Amino acid sequence: MDFDLSEEQQMLAKTVRDWARKESTVERFRKVRDADGLGFDPKVWAQMGELGWLAMPFPESVGGFGGSFVDAGLALEELGKMLVPEPYLASVALAGRALLRAGDAAQHERFLTPMLEGQTTLALAYAERDARFDPAHVRTEAKAAGDGWTLSGEKIFVLNGHAADHLLVSAVLDGELALFVVEGGAEGLTRETLRFIDGHRGARLRFENTPAAARLTAMDTAEVLQRAMHDGAAAAAAEGLGVLQAMLGITTEYLKTREQFGVKIGSFQALQHRAVEMFVEVELMRSMAIEAMVRADEDGPERAAAIAAAKMQLGVGGAFVSRQAIQLHGGIGVTDEADIGLFFKRHHALMTLFGDVEHHVGAYADTLAAE
């Protein structure tokens, strides 16, 4: 076994880390969050394209650099540490990879390659009311119209759905699941911008006989969506690892500097042990973020098991870290002024998206058998 990163990967992580420290601190996220607008900066997105971070995990055939999903995970971890608001998870890890699987060469060239260059962003519109975490629960309908198709229905909590140039939309066509591309400015598409708990923005989308720009058929849609949920969960684990590391770092720094009763509060053994328990959970998170990213491209039951373990770690161990980080800050931790709360909220979003603990534990429990 080898958990070492290649030299290129180490370099990549360092590059993203250094960039975020210089160009996109938490202070920048706060400004973007509080301003009107998209909730991120298309110029920064374009810059990420120029730096090659968007193209990195895609094959050369679509304009990528032929790296692996693990590379994207390394970037996400670093972006998570600074709460960088650009839609890397939504556009690269989720929609980009779904498009790579489901599209043909011409569709890749038309919809995927511009995103890799930072010219456009993508969104995967899969979630519907009453679907819980099942991407196959789809009520949006597609019907043939002339040479193409039109869609009618509603999608909710669409990550980057308010801003995406191209939306991948699941719908039922003649009783079968199907996946379409809809232009952001399509006729009959209403995009209602939603505010998310973590300060990100997304959308509720309403389709009324909205024309599709293309249908994606290179892989069975149910399989595409299932794999997208796993990609999203792995990406949430990777970004979550960054979020939790940041929280641990900020909190231990606070324990080292905050004085009460004439001493640093970090000298209290009860609080030292709490910090140690947080550290242990962060390390378990690291293990599972790595396994989830590596196995996201595998077939077979090990992938689902790794994803379940990663999401449980994010939702249980990660929640412990996140909540104790607030607790150890005392009153200041419950204000919007302290950064720690912003990480707390991002953690909640990441632990919930693509299946919460109950969902993944349930899915894994259904596979249990005596050995």
Partner 1 sequence: MVPPAMDLTFTERDEAFRKEVREFVASAMPPEMKQKAADYGHFSMPEIMEWHKILAKKGWVAPHWPEAAGGPGFDATQRFIFSEEMELAGAPPLSPFGLVMVGPLIIRFGTDEQKQRFLPKILSGEEVWCQGYSEPGAGSDLASLRTSAEDAGDHFVVNGQKTWTTYAQYADWIFCLVRTSNEGKKQAGISFLLIPIDAPGVEVKPMQTLGHTPAFCDTFFDNVKVPKENLLGPLNGGWTLAKALLGHERTLVAAVGQCRRTIRLAKHIAAETQGADGKPLLDDPRWRDRIARLELRLRAHQMTNYRSLAEQQKGKHPGPETSILKLVGSELVQAADELCMELMGLNSLSWFNDEGVVPAFEQWVPSTFCYDRATTIYAGSNEIQKNIIAKMILGLPSK
Pick the piece of the chain touching partner 1 (CB under 8 A) from 17-25, 127-135, 139-147, 167-175: 127-135
Q: Are 94 and 124 in contact (CB under 8 A)?
A: yes
Q: Does 143 bind partner 1 (CB under 8 A)?
A: no
Segment near partner 1 (CB under 8 A); pick from 54-62, 77-85, 288-296, 321-329: 321-329
Nearer to partner 1, 5 or 361 (CB): 361
| CA atoms of 114 and 39, how far apart (whole Å) | 21
Greatest alpha-carbon pair distance for the chain in Å reads 78
Please identify, using beta-carbon distances, which residue of 301 and 330 lies nearer to partner 1. Answer: 330
Torsion angle of C-alpha atoms 116, 120, 126, 132, degrees rounded to 10: 90
H or E element that contains 167: strand 166-173
- Quick one: which of 175, 185, 300, 331 contacts partner 1 (CB under 8 A)? 331
Exactly one of 188, 305, 356, 364 binds partner 1 (CB under 8 A); which one? 356
Nearest CB to partner 1, comparing residues 209 and 257: 257
Q: Is 172 in the site for partner 1 (CB under 8 A)?
A: no
Residue in 7, 130, 174, 371 binding partner 1, rule: CB under 8 A: 130
Assess contact for 88 and 81: CB atoms under 8 A.
no
Q: Is 36 in the site for partner 1 (CB under 8 A)?
A: no
Interface residue with partner 1 among 117, 134, 183, 220 (CB under 8 A) is 134
Q: Binders of partner 1 among 86-115, rule CB under 8 A? A: none
Q: How many residues bind partner 1 (CB under 8 A)?
A: 46
DSSP for 117-156, written as a single string: TTS--EEEE---TT-TT-TT----EEEEETTEEEEEEEEE
**276 touching partner 1, by CB under 8 A:** no
Rg of the chain taking only CA atoms, in angstroms: 21
Residue whose C-alpha is closest to residue 74's, from 24, 118, 19, 9: 9
Q: Which span sits near partner 1 by CB under 8 A: 144-152, 182-190, 232-240, 339-347?
A: 339-347
Beta bridge partners of 181: 168, 214
Q: Which of 40, 53, 111, 133 binds partner 1 (CB under 8 A)?
A: 133
Is residue 196 close enough to count as binding partner 1 by CB under 8 A? yes
Q: Which listed range, 55-63, 70-78, 222-230, 255-263, lies at the site for partner 1 (CB under 8 A)?
A: 255-263
Alpha-carbon distance 71 to 54, whole Å? 10
Q: How many CB atoms lie within 10 A of CB 157?
A: 18
- One DSSP character per residue, 205-265 reads EEEEEEEPSEEE-SS-HHHHHHHHHHHHHHHHHHHHHHHHHHHHHHHHHHHHH-EETTEEG
* Residue type at 207 in one-letter notation: F
**Interface with partner 1 includes 30 (CB under 8 A)?**
no
What is the CA angle 293-295-298, rounded to 5? 135
**103 versus 199: smaller Cβ distance to partner 1:** 199
DSSP state of 284: H
Interaction mask 204-243, partner 1, x per CB under 8 A: x---------------------------------------
* Contact status: 349 vs partner 1 (CB under 8 A): yes
Which positions lie near partner 1, rule CB under 8 A?
A: 127, 130-134, 137, 156-157, 192, 194-199, 204, 259-262, 268, 270-271, 319, 323, 326-327, 330-331, 333-337, 341, 344-345, 348-349, 352-353, 356-358, 362
